[in-house]
Structure 1
Amino acid sequence: MFEIEDSTNPADPGANIVTDDAGNIDWAEMDGDPTPGRIVVDDMDITIGNKTDDSAFGQGTSEDTEPPSVVAGGVPPNKSDLKKFGVYVEEDGDTFVNVFWTRVQDPSGTTNMDFEFNQSSSPSANNVTPIRTAGDLLLQYDLANGGTNPELFLSEWITQASAGGASAASVCEATNKFPCWGIKQNLSDANLAAGSINNDPISNADAGGLDEGMGFDERTFGEAQFNLTGIVGAEECITFGSVYLKSRSSDSFTAALKDFIPPVATSITNCAAVKVVKKDDNGSLLNGATFTLYQDNEPVGTFGEEDSVVLDGGGDPVACTTGIPLDGECQINDILAGLYCLDETGVPANHIPADPQCFEVDPSVPVLTLMFTDRQLGSILVKKADEDGAALDGAEFKVIAANPADDDVPTLPVTLTEAPTGFHCVDGLPIRDALGTVISYTVSETMIPPGYFGASDAETSAEFDTCANRTVEPIDDADVDLIFVNERKPGAIKITKTTKDINSELNPVPHPGVTFNISNAEGVVGSVVTDANGEACLDELEFGEIFSVDEVTPVGYEGESAKNVEIDNDAVCGSGNEETVSFHNTPLGKFTISYESLPMDGHGATKATVTCTGEGVGTVIAEVDLFDGDSQASSELNFETQATYTCTIVVDP
């Protein structure tokens, strides 16, 4: 705590400037350095018209005069000619404001020093003192009992609007009209303030640089401390933008004001602000992140369900959004002292929110800056292509982090969605791990399009963009992270050709030397001839296509019609996995009927009439007359099929 001397203690001579008790703070400079955070203001001359002199109030200005009348003129020593004042704020659970004053000499009679704390720092019509605002405070340092016993009082500036309907007579200290200073509150009696005055001289050695090398006579230095939190309440936030000191020559509140030390800007407050600086893990300022303020309840230091949202006066959550007003920044003002947490409740698209942060708001630190880093989420776009580079459908891909480092990185395979055809994409992949290392992802082809060989696994990092943006057609290959090229599987057709041989013990028998043509919709793709085993094979055929196998039927055989074969096996000739097709040709034959007339002398002759039919084949030889030496084949142009034939021969009927 700040050291405030108690002049009623016989062992203590009163206010001083150096620290008496170890660990306490006082006004003295130590080794030339002032107490950190203290403000010391010297009385300054002012110029009014063509006159430059000590700053003073004139024309009967009293405390309620708004604005005060400022003049340039000397202030008699017996009216408390002021020299310096100082202000220092400290936190010890509550917010305490410490002040001191110095004056030229101990005046005769009753004197008073008043510190006016204004929320506004904008000058009033006199261009010197600030505009007064409802809630401004007037700390009154009254010296009674011959000027040795300070009593501390407080009044609040009241306007008609802030009076809540009360009359001026009931709330003003010394006037019947608004605005006015309110009825004085005795801070000393309420134990909300303490003060003292030096009853003994202070030497130059103990003056801490505040005495201009002359020390202080008795009763020319006084100090006070008041509990700002106790005065305004623990639930009300107030900030003072300026403070100044003035003197009254009488303990009457309506007495004329004389000397004053012009205002100095300050930031006395029982609240503070929290500024958020938001970046992504690429170091760029990030807008659009909303942070909500929570009260950090027991157990403190960690954010959890026990913590409650802080609400503003309208019942809405207290929050801010980055980018308002500065890129990557936002600020929550007027936060009462206490323990809080900030949680990112509005996350920019394609980002992982930062972890909540818990902290203490200390009004002695006007603005607490917290850094939050969101991690970028990206996508991986894969193209599936054939050997010609054309997009190929029917594949499936999965991705897994090759170097996972935290819970946000997928350690189980994530499926990539195909759309449009041949392009596969997945969103929501962290680009970097929690340590800032770029994550490498392994992409695997888990389903291969029919008729193609699969491609090997590949690694890539995620791109900071969405699949929705990256899959707008047409898609340039340069914008794709990985291209998987599949080689088409070869297909093969194995042909087995057999026939019948009456001379063989094994039937059917292989039929070598037979030609087969293999065709697709575009025409013949190849021709093969059966080997000694009656087999022939053609490979390097397109997987998934249907081919027509057509025999060039050898003369003397009954051939079969063309047969269709679909390639759905990965095979080459000799692999044993070829598509198979069989052809069996029946050997054909023909018979000849001849007729010979037997008379040899040349005078007699006969003829024969022949008709042959075959079962299931109709008439083979229609009725025909054969004369001596004539013959008739079963067919002049074609061989007959195997069948049972019946021939009727009528000899010269």
Structure 2
Amino acid sequence: MLRTEAAQNCPTPPTRRRRRRSPIIAAAAAGALIFTGLAVAPAQAAHPEVSLPGSDFEIDTDANLKVDDPAPSIDWANVIENRQADLATGSGDDSFGQGAKEDTAVPTVVDGSIPPNKSDLLNFGTYLEESAAGDFLHMFWHRVQEPNGTTNMDFEFNQSETLSGNNVTPLRTEGDILIQYDLSQGGTNPQLFVAYWLTDGTFNPPNPDQTVTTANCVSSNAFPCWGLRANLTSSGDATGSINTTAIPAAESDGLSSTNPVSARTFGEATVDFSAIVGDDECVSFGSAYLKSRSSDSFTAALKDFIRPADVDLTNCAKVIIHKETDPDGDTTSFDYTTQLVTQDDGTSPGFSLTDGGTQEYDNVFFGTDLTVTESAPPAGWSLIDIDCSASVGVTVGPADISLATGTVTFDLDDADDVLECTYTNQAKGTVIVEKVTNDGFGPFDFTSGTLPDAAFTLTTTAAGSAGKDSNTYANLTPGTYDVSETVPANWNLVSETCDDASDPQSISLSAGETVTCTFVNEREKGSIKIVKTRKHAASGPGDHPHANVTFTVTGGNLSQGIVVQTNASGIACVPNLVVSALVGNYTVTETVPTGYVALSTNPQTAAVSESAADCSNTPAGATKTFENMPLTNLTVSVDSQIDGGTASTIDCDAEADPPFEATTNANGDGSLTKSNLQPGTYTCVIVIDP
């Protein structure tokens, strides 16, 4: 554990989880490092170092900026650090004034020269090394010349980037860190300490020895304040050095262009980052700045400072989940569960997203086999893609993504890790098959090679939409579908259309689309053709068309008879009759005109089959011919010129039954009339008897 500078008789908070521990550094000698309870050789033994074990960064016994050992060793010269330069030395330089101290939340900034022997600052830099052994925070300071007396360099790391009232330094937030780099007078072995900014009694530092009461304030008994500092050097969580010899300008990594960097004007340090921020709370620092004190008293007035530089220091990684839907713009909500822990509440968070939405967690603790899972999609949706290619520092291969469960499995072990995945869901579609009959009703069979039913029957109950039948196929994956009707005998398929203009045999179903395909049938129709002829002497021998003769058609599906008359050509056409195969035969009855006798069978039976409405192709079974014969009235009379002078008998067609005969009355006059005689030869015998 870290050791505080002053012991306090306070209860010890629960021990917090630590990612790793470093051995305690006791002393350093050329070629070897000696640690309390453990002897460990430096990472590279080519020259003396006091680097922390696990770190590849060279903290040289005689501090410098160049890389002295082979890879994987690193030093300031081959990393890209956050570096900030001070304002030019002289009257244009700024400093803290009016007695500003470390506990001054908003120190006063003034202009004016800082005497070189009061640690006039030139540059500072920070760099976060991320390795399998842990994260290490490296710092350097650079001042004008070696000062006289005690020197203190304080690195302040702030979580907020919002400027305070002086418009220069950031607002302090509880948990901000102050790393103090102390060199006693004439000393070359720095001691590093850490303190935390306290605003009330709720903050729990990662150092178990640091309880939070006003008694923990370093220089006052009231919040806000810097808490009691912990010795990072003694606990083995930090190391540092200064340059005891001059650094050539060519090896200064740009700190000096011509002159060497004088001895004791450059110092560097490494701090185990997890040791100062802990492993069970996410901490992010957005800015850092350097300040100096010329006294080892914490309450001494601050001197020079270098304005804050932006940094990005964190002990947590980031998870970003995006949601896309097909079709775009859908408002359906999709639920997610996770197996990861964030700083927000210490539990695995869940969330919901709609199309175009993003859930971002920038405070996810490191871990292995972490998961994000989309719950079973709502009805009518399917998960079609999980794309994690935008992730940074996180390897997500095909084996780590399961579309079946909606789960991504991943590891986070670096502050720069970003898991960024896009979940794409596709709305399923619906195909509705409708059956409508324009007339009649009945069952109709359908087949499909792609719908869930390979064969099905739809049965209409009446003509028109009121009697329609339909099947609905929902939750279909977008694609191409087909449906066909097996048209029954004696029915016609008059139309098959889909409301999206698709062909029913190739229905293009998009995500979220409902396509209705309607099949319209009607019964086959035919006509009865009536041919009417007559004998007519004046028109010549043979049969002649007979106009204006009335016929009545009954039977079939007719609720009442259809009455028609023949035209000038002796033709009457009765169209749009349902075929007899469906409704039975029809009866054609002639109303025989007065003065005629029917020579043909009357009525006649017609079997209607499909034919044209104009009777142009009416088959024989529905073509009916009626022939009539005109009738004649025959009258034979005798008139006795002498009243009663003669008596006569008339006998025509004596073979007829009854006999066709007559006798004159007493005056000798008489006649015989025979009506409705068909054409023929008639013989009459008249006997006049005087």
TM-score under structure 1 length normalisation:
0.61
- Tell me if the contact between 1:397 and 1:424 (Cα under 8 Å) persists in the aligned partners: no
**Number of the residue aligned with 2:86:** 43
Alignment of 1:217-366 (within 5 A): 217-280=262-325, 284=328, 290=334, 292=336, 294-295=338-339, 310=341, 314=345, 317-322=348-353, 327-339=356-368, 340-345=370-375, 347=377, 350-353=380-383, 354=385, 355=403, 356-361=407-412, 363-365=414-416
Distance in 2 separating the partners of 1:415 and 1:147: 96
Answering whether residue 56 of structure 2 is matched by residue 27 of structure 1, we say no
Q: CA deviation at 1:466?
A: 5.7
- Matched position secondary structure for 1:130: coil
Answering whether residue 181 of structure 2 is matched by residue 134 of structure 1, we say no
Structure 1 residues 264 and 416: alpha-carbon distance in aligned structure 2, compared to 1, 3 A threshold: farther
Alignment of 1:186-585 (within 5 A): 186-280=231-325, 284=328, 290=334, 292=336, 294-295=338-339, 310=341, 314=345, 317-322=348-353, 327-339=356-368, 340-345=370-375, 347=377, 350-353=380-383, 354=385, 355=403, 356-361=407-412, 363-365=414-416, 367-386=418-437, 401=450, 421-422=468-469, 424-431=471-478, 439-445=479-485, 452=491, 458-465=505-512, 467=514, 480=515, 482-486=517-521, 488=523, 518-524=555-561, 541=578, 546-547=583-584
Distance in 1 separating the partners of 2:490 and 2:347: 62
- Matched position secondary structure for 2:181: strand
Opposite residue 260 of structure 1, the aligned amino acid is F
Distance in 1 separating the partners of 2:475 and 2:299: 71
- Tell me if the contact between 1:6 and 1:196 (Cα under 8 Å) persists in the aligned partners: no
Answering whether residue 108 of structure 2 is matched by residue 69 of structure 1, we say yes
Opposite residue 28 of structure 1, the aligned amino acid is A
Opposite residue 338 of structure 2, the aligned amino acid is Y
**Number of the residue aligned with 1:15:** 63
Distance in 1 separating the partners of 2:299 and 2:320: 44
- Tell me if the contact between 1:319 and 1:332 (Cα under 8 Å) persists in the aligned partners: no
Between the two proteins, the alignment pairs up a number of residues equal to: 475
Answering whether residue 103 of structure 2 is matched by residue 103 of structure 1, we say no
Q: Deviations over 1:285-330 (max 9, x none)?
A: 77665564533xxxxxxxxxxxxx647755764144446xx94333
- Tell me if the contact between 1:147 and 1:219 (Cα under 8 Å) persists in the aligned partners: no
Distance in 1 separating the partners of 2:117 and 2:580: 114
Distance in 1 separating the partners of 2:458 and 2:186: 90
Q: CA deviation at 1:423?
A: 5.0
Distance in 2 separating the partners of 1:289 and 1:429: 20
Larger deviation, residues 13-22 vs 129-138: 13-22
Distance in 1 separating the partners of 2:260 and 2:457: 82
- Matched position secondary structure for 1:231: helix
Q: CA deviation at 1:259?
A: 0.8
Distance in 2 separating the partners of 1:153 and 1:463: 65
Structure 1 residues 399 and 192: alpha-carbon distance in aligned structure 2, compared to 1, 3 A threshold: farther
**Number of the residue aligned with 2:5:** none
Structure 1 residues 429 and 72: alpha-carbon distance in aligned structure 2, compared to 1, 3 A threshold: same
Opposite residue 142 of structure 2, the aligned amino acid is T
- Matched position secondary structure for 1:8: strand
Larger deviation, residues 173-182 vs 213-222: 213-222
Q: CA deviation at 1:56?
A: 0.9
Distance in 2 separating the partners of 1:412 and 1:24: 69
> Any gaps of 5 or more consecutive residues in structure 2?
1-24, 31-46, 49-60, 205-209, 386-402, 460-464, 497-502, 528-551, 565-574, 591-596, 610-620, 622-690
Q: CA deviation at 1:547?
A: 4.6
**Number of the residue aligned with 1:79:** 118
- Matched position secondary structure for 1:357: strand
- Tell me if the contact between 2:483 and 2:505 (Cα under 8 Å) persists in the aligned partners: yes
- Tell me if the contact between 2:428 and 2:476 (Cα under 8 Å) persists in the aligned partners: yes
Q: CA deviation at 1:188?
A: 1.9
Distance in 2 separating the partners of 1:72 and 1:276: 49
Distance in 2 separating the partners of 1:483 and 1:76: 94
- Matched position secondary structure for 1:128: coil
Q: Deviations over 1:402-449 (max 9, x none)?
A: xxxxxxxx8886989999945544332222xxxxxxx22233458x78
Q: Deviations over 1:357-394 (max 9, x none)?
A: 233335542754323322332223444345x6x99885
**Number of the residue aligned with 2:216:** 171
Q: CA deviation at 1:17?
A: 1.5
Answering whether residue 164 of structure 2 is matched by residue 124 of structure 1, we say yes
Distance in 2 separating the partners of 1:550 and 1:196: 122
- Tell me if the contact between 1:286 and 1:328 (Cα under 8 Å) persists in the aligned partners: no
Structure 1 residues 548 and 371: alpha-carbon distance in aligned structure 2, compared to 1, 3 A threshold: same
Opposite residue 79 of structure 1, the aligned amino acid is K
Q: Deviations over 1:213-257 (max 9, x none)?
A: 434222222222222223322221111121111111122222221
Q: Deviations over 1:449-496 (max 9, x none)?
A: 8974788971112134465xxxxxxxxxxxx5544344646899xxxx
- Tell me if the contact between 1:6 and 1:15 (Cα under 8 Å) persists in the aligned partners: no
- Matched position secondary structure for 1:16: coil
Q: Deviations over 1:80-128 (max 9, x none)?
A: 2111111222322433322221111221222111111111111112221
Opposite residue 366 of structure 2, the aligned amino acid is A
**Number of the residue aligned with 2:127:** 88
- Tell me if the contact between 1:88 and 1:99 (Cα under 8 Å) persists in the aligned partners: yes
TM-score under structure 2 length normalisation:
0.58
Q: Deviations over 1:29-53 (max 9, x none)?
A: 5xxxxx34x211111269xxxx962
Distance in 1 separating the partners of 2:558 and 2:440: 23
Structure 1 residues 424 and 135: alpha-carbon distance in aligned structure 2, compared to 1, 3 A threshold: same
- Tell me if the contact between 1:287 and 1:348 (Cα under 8 Å) persists in the aligned partners: no
> What's the % identity of the aligned pairs?
36
Opposite residue 120 of structure 1, the aligned amino acid is S
- Matched position secondary structure for 1:440: strand
Structure 1 residues 41 and 396: alpha-carbon distance in aligned structure 2, compared to 1, 3 A threshold: farther
- Tell me if the contact between 1:491 and 1:542 (Cα under 8 Å) persists in the aligned partners: yes
**Number of the residue aligned with 2:42:** none
Opposite residue 318 of structure 1, the aligned amino acid is P
**Number of the residue aligned with 1:507:** none
Distance in 1 separating the partners of 2:329 and 2:72: 42
Opposite residue 519 of structure 1, the aligned amino acid is G
> Any gaps of 5 or more consecutive residues in structure 1?
30-34, 296-308, 402-409, 432-438, 468-479, 493-514, 528-537, 568-577, 579-653
- Tell me if the contact between 2:217 and 2:228 (Cα under 8 Å) persists in the aligned partners: yes
Opposite residue 463 of structure 1, the aligned amino acid is S
